[in-house]
Structure 1
Amino acid sequence: MCIARSAGESCFERARLQPLRSSASPGSCFSTNSKRTSHCQKTLKGSRMNFCRRTVSLLILCVIVSVPSWGQITEILQGSNETKKPAQTNPTDPLGRDTPNGTLFGFLQAMQGGNYLTAAQYLQMSPAKRARDGEQAATKLKALLDGAFVGSLRSISTNPEGTLQPGLPPDREKVGTLSVDDSEADVILVRVNDPSAGKIWLFSADTLSKIDALYELLQAGQVETHVPRALVRTEFLGMSVWRWLAMIVAVPVAAGLAWVLIELVIFPIMLWRGFRKQPQLAHWRRISGPLWLVIGVMIHRVLVGYLTLPLLHRHYYFITVRVVFTIGVGWLALRVLARIMEQLRLRAIARGSTGTGSLVLLGQRILKVVVVLFAGLAVLGALGFNLTTALAGLGIGGLAIGFGAQKTIENLFGGISLLGDEVIRVGDACNFSGRVGTVEDISLRSTRIRTVERTELSIPNGTLATMNVENLSRRDKFLFNPTLGLRPETTPDQLRFVLSQARRILYQHPKIETASARVRLAALDQGWPALEVFSYVVTRDGAEFTAIREDILLQWMTLVEEAGTGFTFPSQNVYLGRNRGIDQEKAEQAEATVREWREQRQLPFPDFAPEEISEIRDTLPYPAPESALHRNSG
């Protein structure tokens, strides 16, 4: 008769009961192949559904134990489902033995679900031997895979033809090694032809012949002998409760050890900087969080390694650890990148390279996108997705996006071009096709301008790169270029007096560039003498320029009044009364002064003598002596 199995019976307890089963009567469940096959077909569907339910519950609990964030549960569950799919891809074999990956996972799933008869179908045995020793061999093999398997389940081929390996024929594939103490045995799968299922992969007879000796060595060194038997016998989701408890306890232990290690490194540094009276590491806490997560995951992985988890649980646990570790490394990379880029940007601004600082800011944003993209691909790889297909899809999708997002890409490269050429910088005042404003930000897509009306103007970088931009903040001096019109009745000598004294004022003014300053009679075609002024005000401050311009214009008004003439305006004068005309007395004085210059051969035309210009340069008091600025400075 068959020996009953309780849910709390461990795999090792079952193994000790196997010799009793070898002597089962002909009426038992092992008596005939027909009964065994019928029983397998009846239990296969139920076992798979039972396994799915157990696997989902197992993954949820693994994520709770290993992942600090609940947000990763969905990703891990999706990854585990992807891992299991290769075992059921080919419908020709109901047990999914058409690939090496499907054979190994199918065997582990059947054993975890308690379907030992089904698990025996994955072993290369004759029907008679499978009926007699199949269940016992499957149990021992499962115990060895759980406790002594060395290899990666992710690297097992999902190709029905398998993978060609050096030293092995095409119909054999090595999926790992069983290592117990100093003894080792390769786990070899062999491809055979099954009459009902076609070509399938099975655990080779050579591998099965070595499991008895390895199993005895494995039994002798069990940690479970030191654990209360109640915790060993009781299982939850296919694994002993004591292992679940140990994994849960390992979480706070790993977190505490990670915190201690970080503090052991940073505390001496803090003490040393305090002793040297140097500023403390204010930004350290920004990277301590992701660093704590990365170190904690690594420590938890080391601690769990001592628990000898069942192979299938270990596989899902490693997936979880890889995902969390990848997220932690990506998080840490983003924090470190932000800190480094911020330091580079501040140094560039301190050196006066505001454009370089803006370019660093743009580069930081691009690198963040790259880091997130690579972290996402790494997570997909850890979850078992085929990255070759994903990268190929990204390439095709990139071409489609490139055609569909030409403007966005144009704006991106336009922003890089603007920052690289340093045409504009954050803080510059510019004229953008008639709109004057200050650059507030240069992003990946557009540049934001604060106009003089205090509105925000957003210009796409692609458009800005082709626009005529006048950078008002880059000028080193202001152009002062007014045109003065005198009354038509101004005499030539009065005009000469005004020209000479106007030049003198420019030469004397300390804020006027003497070398380029000039005042010339430019035109008479409008009915009055027009004086053209060309000079530069040596200042970069717009407010100071307007003050200097005002001062010079006021002085010229006084000069024109002293010459006995006046300014003309583009209008028609209608005299309704007696016209006083020009001031005859002042006109005679101006003419007398010019006559005196002429007689002394000192007439300043076409310009003052160079020695006289040098003598009078910067002699005009500015601001004026009566200005309130003198009182404030005193």
Structure 2
Amino acid sequence: MSIKHNLTPSPSPNLFSAITKMPFIVAMLLLTMLLSIALPNNAYAVEAGALGVGNDSSGETVSTPLPDSFGRDTPRHTVQGFISALGENDYLLASNYLNLSKSDNPTTVVRQFKQALDAGGRFQPDLQISNSPEGNLTDQLPPSQENVGVINIGERSVPLLLERVVSKQNEQYWQFSSDTLTSVPEVIENTEPTLVSRYTVDSLDGKKLFGYQLADLVAALTMIVTSFVLTYVAVWLLYHLLRIVYPYLRGTPLPLPNKVILPLSVVIMALILSEVMVYAGVSVTLREPVNRFTDIASWLALTWLLLRVIDAIFTRAVNLSYKKNYTERVSILGLLRKVVKALLLIFAVIVIFGNLGFDLTTGIAALGVGGLALALGAQKTIENLVGSVVVVADSPVRIGDYCKFGTYEGTVIDIGIRSSRVRTLSRTIVTVPNGDFSSMQIENFTSRDMFRFFHYLYIKRTADLDVIFKMVNDLDEFIKEHDLTNQEWNQVNILELRQDCYVIQLQAYVNAIGIIEFYDKQNALFVDILKKVAKYKVEHALPTQQLIVNQAELEHHVGSSTDESAEGDESDNSSNSANNEVSDNKEVNTSVYRKDYNDDGVDIRKDSDKAKNDVASHHKFSMATVSRSGALKALKHKSHMLRKSKFKHTKNKSGFSIWNQP
């Protein structure tokens, strides 16, 4: 049954099941191919290594060497590690940097080598020692050797050589050569005690501070201070001697300022300090760090000194350009000064960081990628830098020129690397990026070789025509022959005929150094021309005002307004007369009442009362007269204002026009 069951044909799969299984099969095939590419090589390699198959003796295996545990990968690291081990008094550690034989005593050899270095050893500066695992291949030495210094004791000189050693494990590193070490015992046989060992106070022997012998620290500090003071005094005396002698030899003052004394003293002190410490016998473990920092100080001082010298040189060049009227060079010199200073500072920073122990090779290589990223992120800054070069090279303006650009105008006071500065007439400073400044339309007023005199004369049309033409011809000849004008284009002509005047155009060119001188000459030219015009029977046309009205409409409107005002006056007069009559009647009644009262009463002073009554009546009459005259004046003023308002209304209604004539 089982055999029969196995031999029974299975039903064929349908198309749908085949299609659904196809992606899974394809994925499995791709995964198998990837695994066959990635895994079998290592498996086969291990298997072949175990079986001893596939080892080709002619082939070379490329492997990355492991870094040396003592840091002896490069000549520079070997020297630095050896000095560091000597500073820690670890002679066993220091012996790892020496190529010793099995018969050598490491401690004895290290001690002798240190004694020779203290007496007269001079290592090269760190930047001059190769920091490459292959060493310096251009020093005319075998590829396996490197020169890092010299030992000078008396008349004997021993080069400090490093040699590349290959260990049994195929590791390569640098050590002090056996040839140098075998020459050391012969050199130190005739050495004498150093100055430090002779004059050191006994209480300082054996004491340490910061890992260094206290006697060496005191000696080094004393030498630094003494060297600086003596160098400064010598440089100060030399500078003032040159300041006295130079004018007699060249006829001009010394161009160097006294600010160069201090940096020059530091540079000279740094140069002689290392030799002074070698001569005094300061330990090499202290001498090398001091030399490193004195090198840094000397580079700082040298940079400071060169900046002062650059300022002095470019200041002298700028003054000479102004003196010889080469003002176009001033902008170029200003930009060149800033570029030279920037390059000097960059170089000084690189050297200083190199002395501090930073690996500059990697940093400089990274500057390539970083510079590209910086350029993409600082496109505007680079545009301004290119714009400054364009402004200086094309020279549309120079420092000191008066120009107009955009909505601003003023005097250019500086053309920098990123921007230019312009002082306006309001004494404010406008800073313009050079990228924008170079693309603007700039009008340079300082570049004018002459100034234009261009004005008009307005002469009344009442003048005789022959007089006008004679005056124009005489003025034309007068301007051409005037002392203040040149022969560029001098002309006087009738430009325009207007309704009330002749427009005469005056044009000439005046030679002047600046706008102030031109204004003075223009004033003199104005006076001479006006005096010349005054000799002719002509009058200057002044601004006039004309009123054009329609006479018929004006008389009609004025007449109607006058009638209305007259009617108003009559009504006012009638009302005023009525009021006056009422007041008179009141006065009469009052007088009658008073008379009746006086008749009824007993008056012992009739004469005096009669006189008083006469005075009162006269006063009342005069007051009535004054009131009548005031009323008449008020009436006249009112009628005048009414006529004026009517006239204004009529003028606006009729469309009268007013304009000014020059």
Q: Which residue of 1 aligns with 2:519?
A: 543
Report the 3-state secondary structure (helix = DSSP H, G, I; strand = E; otherwise coil) of the residue aligned with 1:544: helix
Q: Which residue of 2 aligns with 1:226?
A: 198
Instruction: Work out the CA distance in 2 between the residues paired with 1:161 and 1:514.
Output: 79
Q: How far off its partner does 1:372 sit?
A: 1.9
* Pair 1:559–1:486, CA change in 2 (3 A): same
Query: 1:191 aligned to 2:165?
Result: yes
* Pair 1:268–1:116, CA change in 2 (3 A): closer
Query: 1:115 aligned to 2:90?
Result: yes
* Pair 1:281–1:575, CA change in 2 (3 A): farther
Q: Which residue of 2 aligns with 1:3?
A: none
Query: 1:135 aligned to 2:91?
Result: no
Instruction: Work out the CA distance in 2 between the residues paired with 1:508 and 1:150.
Output: 86
Q: Which residue of 2 aligns with 1:474?
A: 447
Please identify, of 226-235 and 253-262, the stretch whose mean Cα deviation from structure 2 is larger: 226-235
Please identify, of 483-492 and 515-524, the stretch whose mean Cα deviation from structure 2 is larger: 483-492
Query: 1:315 aligned to 2:315?
Result: no
Report the 3-state secondary structure (helix = DSSP H, G, I; strand = E; otherwise coil) of the residue aligned with 1:135: helix
Instruction: Work out the CA distance in 2 between the residues paired with 1:440 and 1:185.
Output: 59
Q: Indicate if the aligned counterparts of 1:120 and 1:134 stay in contact, CA closer than 8 A.
A: yes
Instruction: Work out the CA distance in 2 between the residues paired with 1:436 and 1:551.
Output: 31
Question: Cα deviations across residues 87-120 of structure 1 (Å, max 9, x unaligned)?
Answer: xx99765433455544444344334323344444
Among 67, 71, 96, the alignment partner of 2:71 is 96
Q: Indicate if the aligned counterparts of 1:413 and 1:462 stay in contact, CA closer than 8 A.
A: yes
Query: 1:253 aligned to 2:229?
Result: no
Count of residue pairs brought into register by the alignment? 482
Report the 3-state secondary structure (helix = DSSP H, G, I; strand = E; otherwise coil) of the residue aligned with 2:484: coil
Question: Cα deviations across residues 15-37 of structure 1 (Å, max 9, x unaligned)?
Answer: xxxxxxxxxxxxxxxxxxxxxxx
Please identify, of 109-118 and 522-531, the stretch whose mean Cα deviation from structure 2 is larger: 522-531
Please identify, of 184-193 and 322-331, the stretch whose mean Cα deviation from structure 2 is larger: 184-193
Instruction: Work out the CA distance in 2 between the residues paired with 1:405 and 1:469.
Output: 26
Q: How far off its partner does 1:291 sit?
A: 1.7
Query: 1:295 aligned to 2:268?
Result: yes
Q: How far off its partner does 1:328 sit?
A: 1.6
Question: Cα deviations across residues 489-514 of structure 1 (Å, max 9, x unaligned)?
Answer: 76644543443354355356443446
Please identify, of 498-507 and 276-285, the stretch whose mean Cα deviation from structure 2 is larger: 276-285
Q: Indicate if the aligned counterparts of 2:256 and 2:309 stay in contact, CA closer than 8 A.
A: no
Q: Indicate if the aligned counterparts of 2:166 and 2:173 stay in contact, CA closer than 8 A.
A: yes
Q: Indicate if the aligned counterparts of 2:117 and 2:151 stay in contact, CA closer than 8 A.
A: yes
* Pair 1:553–1:569, CA change in 2 (3 A): farther
Larger RCO (alpha carbons 8 Å, 6+ apart) = 1
Instruction: Work out the CA distance in 2 between the residues paired with 1:167 and 1:403.
Output: 44
Report the 3-state secondary structure (helix = DSSP H, G, I; strand = E; otherwise coil) of the residue aligned with 1:444: coil
Q: How far off its partner does 1:212 sit?
A: 4.6
Q: How far off its partner does 1:287 sit?
A: 1.6
Question: Cα deviations across residues 565-608 of structure 1 (Å, max 9, x unaligned)?
Answer: 6538697664999xxxxxxxxxxxxxxxxxxxxxxxxxxxxxxx
* Pair 1:395–1:481, CA change in 2 (3 A): same
Q: Indicate if the aligned counterparts of 1:480 and 1:535 stay in contact, CA closer than 8 A.
A: yes
Please identify, of 181-190 and 467-476, the stretch whose mean Cα deviation from structure 2 is larger: 181-190
Instruction: Work out the CA distance in 2 between the residues paired with 1:173 and 1:424.
Output: 57
Report the 3-state secondary structure (helix = DSSP H, G, I; strand = E; otherwise coil) of the residue aligned with 2:308: helix
Question: Cα deviations across residues 324-343 of structure 1 (Å, max 9, x unaligned)?
Answer: 11122211111112112112
Please identify, of 367-376 and 159-168, the stretch whose mean Cα deviation from structure 2 is larger: 159-168
Instruction: Work out the CA distance in 2 between the residues paired with 1:413 and 1:93.
Output: 48
Q: How far off its partner does 1:306 sit?
A: 0.8
Among 282, 299, 302, the alignment partner of 1:326 is 299
Query: 1:347 aligned to 2:334?
Result: no
Instruction: Work out the CA distance in 2 between the residues paired with 1:185 and 1:299.
Output: 21
Report the 3-state secondary structure (helix = DSSP H, G, I; strand = E; otherwise coil) of the residue aligned with 2:280: coil
Q: How far off its partner does 1:355 sit?
A: 3.0
Instruction: Work out the CA distance in 2 between the residues paired with 1:300 and 1:175.
Output: 20
Q: Which residue of 2 aligns with 1:285?
A: 258
Report the 3-state secondary structure (helix = DSSP H, G, I; strand = E; otherwise coil) of the residue aligned with 2:400: coil
Query: Could you list the runs of 5+ residues in structure 1 that have no partner in the other structure?
Result: 1-88, 578-634
Q: Which residue of 1 aligns with 2:571?
A: none
Instruction: Work out the CA distance in 2 between the residues paired with 1:426 and 1:205.
Output: 67
Instruction: Work out the CA distance in 1 between the residues paired with 2:357 and 2:327.
Output: 46
Instruction: Work out the CA distance in 1 between the residues paired with 2:423 and 2:315.
Output: 24
Instruction: Work out the CA distance in 2 between the residues paired with 1:312 and 1:389.
Output: 28
Question: Cα deviations across residues 508-547 of structure 1 (Å, max 9, x unaligned)?
Answer: 6443446733233344588965444333345452422542
Matched letter for residue 551 of structure 1: V
Q: Which residue of 1 aligns with 2:583?
A: none
Instruction: Work out the CA distance in 2 between the residues paired with 1:302 and 1:163.
Output: 26
Q: Which residue of 1 aligns with 2:116?
A: 144
Report the 3-state secondary structure (helix = DSSP H, G, I; strand = E; otherwise coil) of the residue aligned with 1:321: helix
Report the 3-state secondary structure (helix = DSSP H, G, I; strand = E; otherwise coil) of the residue aligned with 1:533: strand
Instruction: Work out the CA distance in 2 between the residues paired with 1:531 and 1:443.
Output: 48
Q: Which residue of 2 aligns with 1:455?
A: 428
Q: Indicate if the aligned counterparts of 1:270 and 1:280 stay in contact, CA closer than 8 A.
A: yes
Query: 1:372 aligned to 2:348?
Result: no
Compute the TM-score of the two structures, normalised by the length of structure 1.
Answer: 0.63
Instruction: Work out the CA distance in 2 between the residues paired with 1:265 and 1:298.
Output: 18
* Pair 1:468–1:548, CA change in 2 (3 A): farther
Please identify, of 337-346 and 469-478, the stretch whose mean Cα deviation from structure 2 is larger: 469-478
Instruction: Work out the CA distance in 1 between the residues paired with 2:99 and 2:542.
Output: 115
Q: How does 1:9-20 map to 2 (within 5 A)?
A: none
Q: How does 1:505-516 map to 2 (within 5 A)?
A: 505-507=478-480, 509-513=482-486, 516=489
Instruction: Work out the CA distance in 2 between the residues paired with 1:532 and 1:269.
Output: 66
Please identify, of 241-250 and 147-156, the stretch whose mean Cα deviation from structure 2 is larger: 147-156
* Pair 1:576–1:470, CA change in 2 (3 A): farther
* Pair 1:574–1:264, CA change in 2 (3 A): same
Report the 3-state secondary structure (helix = DSSP H, G, I; strand = E; otherwise coil) of the residue aligned with 1:381: helix
Q: Indicate if the aligned counterparts of 1:356 and 1:420 stay in contact, CA closer than 8 A.
A: no
Matched letter for residue 139 of structure 1: R
Report the 3-state secondary structure (helix = DSSP H, G, I; strand = E; otherwise coil) of the residue aligned with 1:426: coil
Query: Could you list the runs of 5+ residues in structure 2 that have no partner in the other structure?
Result: 1-63, 552-662
Matched letter for residue 289 of structure 1: L
Is the radius of gyration larger for structure 1 or structure 2?
A: 2
Matched letter for residue 315 of structure 2: E
Instruction: Work out the CA distance in 1 between the residues paired with 2:186 and 2:544.
Output: 116
Q: Indicate if the aligned counterparts of 1:274 and 1:280 stay in contact, CA closer than 8 A.
A: yes
Q: Indicate if the aligned counterparts of 2:86 and 2:285 stay in contact, CA closer than 8 A.
A: no
Q: How does 1:225-244 map to 2 (within 5 A)?
A: 226-228=198-200, 229-244=202-217
Q: How does 1:581-596 map to 2 (within 5 A)?
A: none
Instruction: Work out the CA distance in 1 between the residues paired with 2:479 and 2:182.
Output: 109
Instruction: Work out the CA distance in 2 between the residues paired with 1:110 and 1:246.
Output: 22
Instruction: Work out the CA distance in 1 between the residues paired with 2:246 and 2:133.
Output: 63
Q: Which residue of 1 aligns with 2:506?
A: 533
Instruction: Work out the CA distance in 1 between the residues paired with 2:502 and 2:540.
Output: 11
Instruction: Work out the CA distance in 1 between the residues paired with 2:438 and 2:167.
Output: 68
Instruction: Work out the CA distance in 2 between the residues paired with 1:449 and 1:481.
Output: 29
Query: 1:567 aligned to 2:549?
Result: no
* Pair 1:221–1:187, CA change in 2 (3 A): farther
* CA RMSD in angstroms, aligned pairs only: 4.3
Q: Which residue of 2 aligns with 1:31?
A: none
Instruction: Work out the CA distance in 2 between the residues paired with 1:183 and 1:203.
Output: 16
Q: Indicate if the aligned counterparts of 1:192 and 1:202 stay in contact, CA closer than 8 A.
A: no
Q: Indicate if the aligned counterparts of 1:243 and 1:307 stay in contact, CA closer than 8 A.
A: no
* Pair 1:207–1:418, CA change in 2 (3 A): closer
